[in-house]
Structures are given as structure tokens and as C-alpha cells.
Structure 1
Amino acid sequence: MMIRPLVRLLLCVGIASGLLSVAGPIANAAPGELIATQRFPVEWGDGYIVTYRTEGSDGASTLARGLLMLPDGPAPAGGWPMISFDHGASGLGPTCGASSSATLPVDVPYFRRLNALGYAVVSTDYLGLSPVTDQVHPYLNSRTEATATIDIVRAAREFTDTVSNSWAVFGVSQGGHAALATARLAPTYAPELDFRGAAALAPGSQLEYLFPLAGPHIPRSPLIDNSIAGAAVLTTAFLAGMWATDRSFDLTPYLTPAGVQVLTELRTACQDRWPAVIGGRGLGELLARPLFDDAARQAIGKYVAIPADGYQQPIFLAQGTRDTAVLPVMTQALAYEFELAGAEYEYHTFETDHQGIMGPGFDAGVEFLQRILPTRR
């Protein structure tokens, strides 16, 4: 593997500690600037943890972290084409990202499958899911998901010349939402890169219509609790991220004291703790006012929406018909919007649930990637 000269020097200097870093912020630093690399823990196998510069919730320069895995063997002429993989929800706190995992990150076996096909893989932790920046994760914020996804591609190209300028994005669940946001932004945010398209499995969409339906009017009952349990947790986590990071809209007047408590605790909680933090409380107990007024609806839409227009490259959508976390009707509605907007897309359904989409959906997504971004292996 050919490593850029400056990075090669840093590797030699930092090899004893395994962590490479550049001290202090750099004024006017470029998005995607490589800040540090660290080899994977031995038990993870080959790969790197990458720290890089990206855009914060306020638009200012900040740091994010993610993973980089390269195929074995010599790179082809022009380098390995890259897949930027967007993972599903993992939490809101600084230890919730894959790069901070105490065990092998769940998506690494999928990355190895992509490596075997001849793709280099990068995977961002998004903002706030690693301790390199003092920021709560802006969960489901379209802009920062996209910038973090794009900027790790830039960082990988700074690290090694064995990766290509050509790339695509692949995401699942929250990562599907991020992949679509990335596909819309990539041509204008990073015109120097050769972006080819996006594969999105069970993507969060139509959320700008779903979230404003929440309010104190939602009663508690076993029927309602069972039918919207997943949506309620999703909405609550979204509100926690938005409340902590969106300075343009004050959510506080919409919250009950219980809502303030829950959303504050969620700021540092990983996904496995979300149900315990929420403690069985319904949305009606957390919200003092409906989110359906103009100010709330506009702020939510600006923060989370995935528009159906403005895409320059093809899109692949996959959805499980038994999914109760991302309802099939939501992805079907997105596909219909793409149709009306004249976007180049394909939509596939599979007889599986939310977790199962990474079986047949992943395989079909890889076939799509091989069409839009062929490898030479």
C-alpha cells in the first residue's frame, strides 16, 4: 500500500503509541483533512481508525472519526474504488460509534465482503459518536450525516494513493437516510470526487411528516403503545439530538419536565440504553405542546427532510415488507416521490424485517454497486 509521504512520516513517529494526531485546531482547515490514523485493535483484523475534519452542526470545522478497510493485494491502476458505508443508529453519545467499540463492530464482516470484491470501504461514525469532538450526535440531521460521509472519502484519499477518486455510498436504516442525503449533496459539496450513486436499505424517510404528529394528545393505551413503540423511541431520540444541536429552534417550550429529563439523559446514551432511559414513557408524557405548529414543522423539515429532487446519480432502494421500524409505506412513498421528480432509481422489496434487510437487501445492493461502480478484481 502506498501511503502519502506526510502520513508515512507520521506513521513512523507515532508507531509506538499506535495513535497519530495533530495538536490543536487549524484555522480555515479544509473538510476531509486527515488528522490522525490508528490501526485496528489486533482482534479486529486489518484496518484503520481515521480521524478527520468535517462540518459541525453550526457549520464550523470540527472532527469526526470512522473506519477504513482496504482490499488485500496490490491496487489496480487508478486505485481501489471506494464505498462510503453509513451504519444504522447506534446512539447519541461519544462512545457509541463503531470506532469506539470494545468488540468487533457489527458491520465489519460486510466491509470484508466488499473488500473481497475489490472495494475500499470507509465508514463514518457521524458527528458526536466518538470522543474527538465535544458534540452530541445530531441524530438524523441530513446535512451533517452527508458531510461526514463525504469527508471521510477525502481523508482516505489523503491517507493513501491506493484508493480511487470514484466512489458510491451504501447505507442501512439511519444510514439509508444518510446515504440519500449524501447522494443529493455530493456533486456540489465535493465536485472533485467522482460520485456514482447510492444504495439505501430501509432508509428513514418521510420523517418530516411523521415527527410533527407527536404531542401531548397521544394517549397511553396498550394498543397504541404496542403499535407505535418503535416510532416513539425513534421520535424521542430524534428530538434529543435536535434539541442538543439545532441552535435555530428552541424545543424547550414543547417539553414537559419529564421530557427535559429524558432528552437530557439520551444525549450520552447508546442505542441499547434508549428504552431504559425513556422508561416506558409515552410521547404524550414528554411533550407539553404539539409539534404541528408552523415553527416546529419548518424546523423539523429543515433538519431531517430527504427531498425527492436534485439527484444526479442513480439510487437503489430496498425495503423489508415485514419491517416495523421503517414502515414499508414510507419507503414506497419515497419511491413514488422519486418517480414524480424524475429521479433515476430502482425499488426492491424483500420478505424480511428491519434486521433481515442486510441479508437479501445487502446482496441486491452490492449487485447495484457493481453496475454503477465496477471493480477490476
Structure 2
Amino acid sequence: MKTSTVSRTRPLLATLAATLLALPAAVQAAEPGELLSAAPYRAAWVPSKASQAYLLSYRTPDHHNRLAQGTGLLYLPAGTAPAGGWPVVSWAHGTQGIADHCAPSRSGPTHAERDGRFLDAFLAQGYAVVAADYQGLGSPGDHAYLHVRTAARNSIDMVKASHRFLGGRLSPRWVSVGYSQGGAAALSAGHQAAAYSGPGLQYKGSFTAGTPTAVEITALVMRPDSRSANPGALNAYHAYLLDGLLQVAPQIDRVLSPQGRARIALARQHCLTDLAAQLEGASTGEMFSAPLTSVPGIWTLLHDYLGVPRHGFTQPLMLAHGTRDQDVPYLTTLLYAAGLALRGEPVAFRQYPVDHRATLDAATADGVAFVKARLADARFDEAAEATGLEKLLDAAR
């Protein structure tokens, strides 16, 4: 008797189904923002106004655009979620280091009290806060420091994963907020939001403080004759950056000195505070046997790795900066904001008589007011903001 095609096929389908069920979830349906795990989180550095905290693991790209694992923290405000859910603030943190133990979810923020005050200001407004560690920082793989596009996507995917965890308790309305390293990430997250976040999320604007917008020019001092004694933090930033650049362009190794390689190896082990203390007074030139600018194609590489968007924003931005900032020079960000305004981008700029570290505290009130306005769909007065920028440029001349 003949066996029907259907009869022969059933065992095959059953075997195939069993095999698929046995495969890891990543093989079946890996996609950016996919939630891998969520667990309650407790630590001394959790913001005081967070009623609940969770550690999330999720899918997100690395700096080679390969889907990888990332981690981050989710903080919820007090009370029950309102109708439509809590609006979401996606927080992009400043420089921590590049080793896994430097991730905020593992060892806390570099300046935990300051960052806690800042996030508390948003939690007090009834906003949920999501805080990506950045891929490779506390998760498998290497963290590419200041690889702006990747950190931005890590932040957006953290928003997606949080929605998959809490569903309707979170509103689709969200903003990106960042400081220093995270300022560039938050800018880029806002720029990529429309194309990358997918359907269902409603991006409303970005607020950034102490934002590096012209790091590419650092290449000009990365040469053997740059022998000035530097602050330790600047030397740490340079070592972290060179480690990241080596990951995408190994040929950079040929312009490094033995001391430069040793300093990068040290950077791979120590978080910012410790590394800065060890490198206080060292020079940039000690790291090089030839100028970084002698590497073929270096400017294209730096622009692709570090470049922040200069046009094409779909929602308003506010950049805040300290006039005494020596880590990220004030004029570079003022000129960046002015360039955006000249191109018709919706940008506001605020300045304060403080240094880099104090900018976040100084800018908190303006940041909260801006975020409240964006989430309420308030009118953004581009003309008034452009006039304000013109006055600041005149004052800086």
C-alpha cells in the first residue's frame, strides 16, 4: 500500500518543529531590542525616587553592526502607571571606562550622586528612565568608546526592550537625554529614531549636556611632539578612544609607541577615576611613534567613528554646555549648535559658568523643562532660539 505524501510529511514536520523549539531564541528570531532577560535590581546608586529598578539584557548591535547582547537599567517612578503609560526618558551616560566592570549596572556611575540627582528630577515628573550600559560594557564583546552610532542604537534598543518587558505600562512617547560621551549618543539616537526605532515608538526630542561634537580634531595633537603635561582625565579619554579605533582600524597600531600600547592595555583594565589618577601629568606624544594623521584615510575613519549628525533632525534638540568646560571645549559645541541653526535644524542652546563635571547639575532645570515641553507637544520657537544663539556667538567673538 502506498504511503500518502501527507503521511510521509507529518513526521518530518514534527521533527522540524521539535528542533526549532530546541534552538536558542537568538537563532529563531533575533532582532534589535529583543528582550533576553529582566530581573529586579538593587544597588546603592539606584536613584532615590525610583520605586522599582530592573536589570535588562537585550539584543542590540555592536560596533561592527553585528547583533550582540547589551545590558541596561530600567527605573520606574512612584505610583501606578497612568492611562497610556509612563513617558520614557532614555539616559545615555558619560565616560565610565571600557572594561566590563566599569558598566554603570556593575559598579555604578562615575559620579553617582550627581547622576542620581539628575535622573531623580525626571522620575519626580512621573517618567520612566531607561539607561543602557552600551554594548560591550558589562556584556560580551569589546566596548568601542565614542562609537556614536552604536551607542545611539544601544540606547534606542533599550527603549524597545523595556516596552517588551512592561508593555502598556510604558508610553510610546520617549526622549533621549545624555551627558558627555552620552551626549553624542543621545544626539545620534534622536537623529536615527525615526528610521531605526520602528513602528510603535514616538520620539519627541533630545536634551544633551557637555556634548562632544568635534572630537575628530583630537587627531591633530596625537603626534610624537605633543609633549605638554595633560590632566589625567584627558589622557584617559585618549587611551579609551585609541582602543576603540584599533577595533575598527587595526592599522593604527603602526603609529603607536611601546608606551602607547602599554597605556591602552592599562585603559582596558581601569575605570575612569583610577585611570585618570595613574595618567595625571603624562603627555599625548608619549603614545606615538608617528602622527596619527599619517595613517591613510584617517579623517574618513574618524568621521565615521566619531561624527555626530549635522542635519536631518525630525524633533527639537537642546544642547547645554559649561563655558569653563576644559574636557569638551565650549566653543566647539556652540559652533556646532550654530551650524545646526543655520541649516534650519530645530535647536536650542543653553550655557552656564561652570566646568564639565558641574554642567549636569547646572542644566537640570532647563533639561526637565525642555523634556516636559517636548512630551506635551508644546510649540518650539525656532526663531527665538536662533536669535539667542546669535547673541551667544557675538559674545564669544
TM-score over 0.5 (shorter chain): yes
**Deviation (angstroms), 1:79:** 0.7
Give the aligned CA root-mean-square deviation in angstroms. Answer: 2.2
CA contact 1:230–1:324 (8 Å) conserved in 2: no
Amino acid of the structure 2 residue aligned with 1:83: V
Amino acid of the structure 1 residue aligned with 2:196: Y
> Which residue in 2 is equivalent to 1:190?
197
> Which residue in 2 is equivalent to 1:115?
123
1:206-242 alpha-carbon deviations (Å, 9 max, x no partner): 11223344111213xxxx325x765443222211222
**Matches of 1:32 and 1:268, distance apart in 2:** 29
**Deviation (angstroms), 1:32:** 0.5
Amino acid of the structure 2 residue aligned with 1:305: G
Could you tell me which of 218, 222, 227 is aligned with 1:214?
222
Following superposition of structure 1 onto structure 2, how do residues 317-332 of structure 1 map, counting pairs within 5 Å?
A: 317-332=319-334
Aligned residues with identical type, % of pairs: 30
CA 110–143 in structure 1, closer or farther in 2 if over 3 Å, else same: same
Following superposition of structure 1 onto structure 2, how do residues 205-244 of structure 1 map, counting pairs within 5 Å?
A: 205-219=213-227, 224-226=228-230, 230-243=233-246
> Which residue in 2 is equivalent to 1:29?
30
CA contact 2:152–2:186 (8 Å) conserved in 1: yes
Is 1:169 the counterpart of 2:176? The answer is yes
Larger Rg: 2
CA 42–232 in structure 1, closer or farther in 2 if over 3 Å, else same: closer
Following superposition of structure 1 onto structure 2, how do residues 359-370 of structure 1 map, counting pairs within 5 Å?
A: 359-370=361-372
Could you tell me which of 132, 135, 139 is aligned with 1:127?
135
**Matches of 1:252 and 1:217, distance apart in 2:** 18
Tell me which protein shows more helix as a share of its residues.
2
SS in 2 for 1:343: coil
CA 42–302 in structure 1, closer or farther in 2 if over 3 Å, else same: closer
> Which residue in 2 is equivalent to 1:41?
42
Could you tell me which runs of 5 or more consecutive residues in structure 2 were left unpaired when the two chains were aligned: 1-22, 378-397
SS in 1 for 2:354: coil
TM-score between both structures, scaled by the size of structure 2: 0.81
CA 105–34 in structure 1, closer or farther in 2 if over 3 Å, else same: farther
Could you tell me which runs of 5 or more consecutive residues in structure 1 were left unpaired when the two chains were aligned: 1-21
CA contact 1:265–1:277 (8 Å) conserved in 2: no
**Deviation (angstroms), 1:102:** 6.4
**Matches of 2:108 and 2:250, distance apart in 1:** 36
Moved more, 210-219 or 354-363: 210-219
1:43-66 alpha-carbon deviations (Å, 9 max, x no partner): 546311111110012111111111
Moved more, 23-32 or 251-260: 23-32
SS in 1 for 2:372: helix
**Matches of 2:348 and 2:354, distance apart in 1:** 18
Following superposition of structure 1 onto structure 2, how do residues 1-377 of structure 1 map, counting pairs within 5 Å?
A: 25-26=26-27, 28-41=29-42, 43=44, 44=46, 46-101=52-107, 105-106=112-113, 107-130=115-138, 132-133=139-140, 135-161=141-167, 162-192=169-199, 193-219=201-227, 224-226=228-230, 230-243=233-246, 245-246=247-248, 248-276=249-277, 278=279, 280-293=281-294, 294-374=296-376
Moved more, 352-361 or 285-294: 285-294
CA 27–261 in structure 1, closer or farther in 2 if over 3 Å, else same: farther
Moved more, 233-242 or 344-353: 233-242
**Deviation (angstroms), 1:121:** 0.5
CA contact 1:241–1:267 (8 Å) conserved in 2: no
TM-score between both structures, scaled by the size of structure 1: 0.86
**Matches of 1:270 and 1:23, distance apart in 2:** 34
